[in-house]
Structure 1
Amino acid sequence: MSLWSRISEVLSALAKGAPLSEVFARWSKPPEQTVAFTIAVIALGAKMAKADGHVTRSEVQAFRQVFHIPPEALEQAARVFDLARQDVSGYEHYAGRIGAMFGSGSKILEDLLEGLFHIATADDDYHPKENVFLEKVADLFGLEGMQFQSIRARCVSGYAADPYTILGASQEEAFPIIKAKWQALVRDSHPDLMIARGVPAEAVKLAEKRLIRVNEAFEKIKNAKS
């Protein structure tokens, strides 16, 4: 049975009145964990779009850019999305379960957070409520405060554009350490590695744009320390 066939079964349960959170919990153990992960990502993306109080067309389009859904499964995914976006409550449950699936420090979790940032900024308005939402999600993903600030600085134009923050570094660190952090970010943003982590092609293109900010930040620091 395919992933999306299993999700169709989940949707049937939802249609009978079962709460989304209960259905998610029922499908969150192997071998159905992939189904639970997919549902959680769709739900989390929908609730991200709702975080500032309303869902815009640009946010829905942004979701489709960073979380690839096969054309034949769009109807099922849309039903999960519509159910989840009715309100923002409950997002902590999904974020916590996703974090537990991968464990803190996973690059996949960082990719997911960047995807949520893309949704948040799709309407060109990074709302304070969206910041609270994403900061909490990052915490539930097990990402440290500096990691969150670094990802936010790379994803939100004009937000804390300090070059050290972008690289997840501090001014007190020696240049070789800062350089190593820059190299790690460049390596993690390599298209082949991102695709291997399951990042869709559209999201890879977005990462390439963010990499420009990473390289610019490193050049500023290198010039300042030379």
Structure 2
Amino acid sequence: MSIFYRLSELFQVLGTTGRATIDSIVEAIRTAWGGDAETRQRVAFSVAIIALSAKMAKADGVVTMAEVEAFQEILEIPPEETQHVFRLYDIAKRDTAGYEHYARRLREFCSGGSDECPLMTDVLDALFHIAKADGLIHERELEFLSEIAAIFGLSERSFERMKFRHIEGPNDPYAVLGIDPGSSRQETRKRYLSLVRENHPDQLQARGVPEEFLFIASERMKAINTAYEQIAGKTAA
């Protein structure tokens, strides 16, 4: 079922009265899908991207048309569902709770016991895509992204790899793949295939990324493939 329908259900649980906050949204997600972990993950992922995009815009102080278009690339919103998405966006932007509180509450929806949550890594990837849309990730945006990454449990190495991919990707394909420049062809190939498996759209859907957001997987795979081709070309030469 469409994630937009699920957002409509979320607002039905929240009700039309009172002022919604991240805490009431988190509890509504738990209430509505307490026995359905898969749907709960999908809704939490969608809320994380929409709400944290709003918080990032507030932290930066400026929302450019390029950033709006980047948001719409990640999530192509049917006209009839726009109200639900932008209601959630407005709630997050108005909420007095800081983005750190939002990130901590949304981190609660990660499943498993590992420190690094793949689902939240996907959220951060989407935020990077929006932040760089105007051609420059501003200092306040980068600080925002770095703090969100730490709350989500990403290692410094994982964050640096993501940053290289979005900001300096073509200049350092080794950083994109997360390998040393001295890695052998076999090591490079092994790492590349591992990343392909990890980032296949089916894998993302399995960990809770709604199909409406699979643009993220497509862009990530483009960067991984480009980096591998650059390294393979150097080796062949």
TM tier, smaller: 0.7 to 0.9
Instruction: Select 1:136's aligned residue among 147, 150, 157.
Output: 147
Aligned pairs for 1:1-226 (under 5 A) are: 3-9=6-12, 12-13=15-16, 16-18=18-20, 20-29=21-30, 31=33, 33=40, 35-86=43-94, 90-103=98-111, 104-156=115-167, 158=168, 161-171=171-181, 176-194=186-204, 196=206, 197-199=209-211, 200-219=213-232, 223=235
C-alpha separation between the residues in 2 aligned to 1:159 and 1:133? 20
Q: State the shift of 1:42 in Å.
A: 1.4
C-alpha separation between the residues in 2 aligned to 1:215 and 1:50? 36
Q: State the shift of 1:122 in Å.
A: 1.1
Which runs of no fewer than 5 residues in structure 1 stay unpaired? none
C-alpha separation between the residues in 1 aligned to 2:86 and 2:98? 18
Query: SS where residue 17 of structure 1 aligns?
Result: coil
Which runs of no fewer than 5 residues in structure 2 stay unpaired? 35-39
Contact 1:52 1:129 in 2 (8 A): yes
Q: State the shift of 1:160 in Å.
A: 8.9
Q: State the shift of 1:208 in Å.
A: 3.9
Cα 1:223–1:170 shift into 2, 3 Å: same
Contact 1:167 1:218 in 2 (8 A): no
Cα 1:69–1:45 shift into 2, 3 Å: same
Q: TM-score under structure 1 normalisation? A: 0.78
- Which structure has more relative contact order (CA 8 Å, sep 6+)? It is 2
Q: TM-score under structure 2 normalisation? A: 0.75
Query: SS where residue 153 of structure 1 aligns?
Result: helix
User: Matched residue pairs, number?
Assistant: 220
**Which stretch shows the higher mean deviation, 45-54 or 204-213?**
204-213
Identity %: 34
Q: State the shift of 1:133 in Å.
A: 0.9
**What amino acid sits opposite 2:196 in the alignment?**
V
Contact 1:167 1:181 in 2 (8 A): yes
**What amino acid sits opposite 2:210 in the alignment?**
G
Cα 1:40–1:203 shift into 2, 3 Å: closer
**Which stretch shows the higher mean deviation, 32-41 or 125-134?**
32-41
Contact 2:14 2:28 in 1 (8 A): no
C-alpha separation between the residues in 2 aligned to 1:147 and 1:100? 20
Cα 1:54–1:144 shift into 2, 3 Å: same
Cα 1:90–1:213 shift into 2, 3 Å: farther
**What amino acid sits opposite 1:223 in the alignment?**
T
Contact 1:7 1:76 in 2 (8 A): no
Cα 1:57–1:206 shift into 2, 3 Å: same
Q: State the shift of 1:150 in Å.
A: 0.7
Contact 1:150 1:168 in 2 (8 A): yes
Off by >6 Å, runs of 4+ in structure 1: none
C-alpha separation between the residues in 2 aligned to 1:88 and 1:165? 37
**What amino acid sits opposite 2:216 in the alignment?**
A
Q: State the shift of 1:68 in Å.
A: 5.0
